[in-house]
Structure 1
Amino acid sequence: MKTDAIVINPPQPATASVIWLHGLGANGHDFEPIVPELPKDITRYTRFIFPHAPARPITINGGMIMPGWYDVFGMDLTVQQDVQGIRESEQIVHHYLAQEIEQGISTQRIVLAGFSQGGAIVLHTGLRYPQPLAGIMALSTYLPLIDTVAQERHPANQPTPIFLAHGQQDPVIALLHAQRSRTYLEQLGYRVEWHDYPMAHQVNAAEISDISHWLQASLA
């Protein structure tokens, strides 16, 4: 399964890439406006790829067809999960990783980023990916298929820095889900940088500032 993407090439030859996945019902344009807000010392050499999720029926929304990385069956995201959809979207991320490698970008210069559903997919994919990544950035999300992580994770990304951020008043993905994911990742020995903000299911200026600092450190 392949999707199209918005690609923002840097003014200088690209030496790093950020593959950034949107949330349910959005598209690749969703986080495009953040790029100009990031420091020039990142954007001048970093290619940003914003894939569009495939359209699929979403059970919790009455079967309405919309862009989604996987189906959602109920408000408790941990009870019943769309295993097939999650693993299909993992392969979509692999496609974009392969494209960047073909263009000469080392995996150690690639960050996987995502918001909400997109964040769940980059966490799922990054922990299992067999080559070292520069970082994994997961915003307003949780760790899906948590029972399979310990068995399926790959040691290549054990030392990879992980940025987790969440809204304290998030009505879509409860803060508790994110906190449990953070605790579990830390128990497995991952380096997690955690932030929470007085906001709902969104991104704010303070978070963009923290993302900027983290990206600078990850892609120095």
Structure 2
Amino acid sequence: MLDGPRLPPRSGRPATALVVLLHGYGADGRDLIDLGEYWAPLLPDAAFVSPHAPEPLAVAPVGRQWFGYVERDDRERWTGVQSAHAALDGFLDAELARLGLPGSRLALVGFSQGTMMALHTGLRRKVAPAGIVGFSGIHVLPPERAMEAFDAEIVARPPVLLVHGDLDQIVPPIALPRAVESLETRGIAVRAHLSNGLGHGIDRTGLSLAGNFLSEVFA
């Protein structure tokens, strides 16, 4: 079972929403948990958790990975999101049960590889999450021959916010319009923002957009 740092609701009341923060390749849950502190004024009754990815980083002695990411091609990404899906999906179920919340009171926030996981698993939840936020990520697609089965797997269509930097050299900015097109083709409402002068990271504009988005979808 996955685990990682948690923040209880700032209000001190029982949680009425759960935000799960999914870190990028080579980081761990501590990398994103502070986003909970940043958004807590907007979401005082939300609990936050940032699980460590299930695998140790394959190319370094520290850090975690949702899946191996050496070739960084479509095949590796597709195999990877499939392999990590069950662990993340089970963790989401366990956290919701721990807090006594329905699946509709869940939001997923991912960065880079975490965005790939947020979109892959979030769109396959039996109960649609309230929303998904993705920073600097990709909507991972299967080989063309598997597209029909892929479409059948998408049973949840929560609203999605995607934010990307126009100077991102790790995940090229073209991933943003491609993800928007892919998601909208499948009936998912998407908002997108390209941050000027931003590389592979999260800026204050993205944080503000995401905080307002989360506040809206949980309202």
Find the aligned partners of 1:99 and 1:213 in 2 and give their Cα distance: 27
Find the aligned partners of 1:54 and 1:96 in 2 and give their Cα distance: 11
Could you say which residue in structure 1 is the equivalent of 2:85? Answer: 90
1:50 partnered with 2:65 = no
In 2, are the aligned partners of 1:81 and 1:145 still within 8 Å (CA)? no
In 2, are the aligned partners of 1:56 and 1:71 still within 8 Å (CA)? no
In 1, are the aligned partners of 2:25 and 2:112 still within 8 Å (CA)? yes
1:14 partnered with 2:15 = yes
Could you say which residue in structure 1 is the equivalent of 2:123? Answer: 127
Change (3 A) 1:217 1:146: farther
- Structure 1 residue 36, shift from structure 2 partner: 2.2
Change (3 A) 1:218 1:150: farther
Find the aligned partners of 1:37 and 1:64 in 2 and give their Cα distance: 30
**Structure 1 residues 103-126: Cα deviation after superposition (integer angstroms, max 9, x where no partner):** 311111100111000010010111
- Structure 1 residue 12, shift from structure 2 partner: 1.4
- Structure 1 residue 3, shift from structure 2 partner: 2.3
- Structure 1 residue 142, shift from structure 2 partner: 0.3
3-state SS of paired residue (1:195): strand
Change (3 A) 1:135 1:88: same
Normalising by structure 2, we get a TM-score of 0.88
Find the aligned partners of 1:133 and 1:171 in 2 and give their Cα distance: 30
3-state SS of paired residue (1:185): helix
Could you say which residue in structure 2 is the equivalent of 1:136? Answer: 132
Could you say which residue in structure 1 is the equivalent of 2:171? Answer: 173
Greater Cα shift, 165-174 or 183-192? 183-192
Aligned AA (2:200):
H
What is the number of equivalent residue pairs in this alignment? 211
Aligned AA (1:184):
S
Find the aligned partners of 1:168 and 1:72 in 2 and give their Cα distance: 22
Aligned AA (2:45):
Y
- Structure 1 residue 82, shift from structure 2 partner: 4.8
Change (3 A) 1:195 1:150: farther
Could you say which residue in structure 2 is the equivalent of 1:196? Answer: 194
Could you say which residue in structure 2 is the equivalent of 1:205? Answer: 204
Find the aligned partners of 1:57 and 1:51 in 2 and give their Cα distance: 15
**Structure 1 residues 4-55: Cα deviation after superposition (integer angstroms, max 9, x where no partner):** 211111121101101110001111111122222225241x211101001133
Normalising by structure 1, we get a TM-score of 0.87
In 1, are the aligned partners of 2:104 and 2:130 still within 8 Å (CA)? yes
- Where do 5+ consecutive residues of structure 1 fail to align? none
Aligned AA (1:21):
L
Identity %: 27
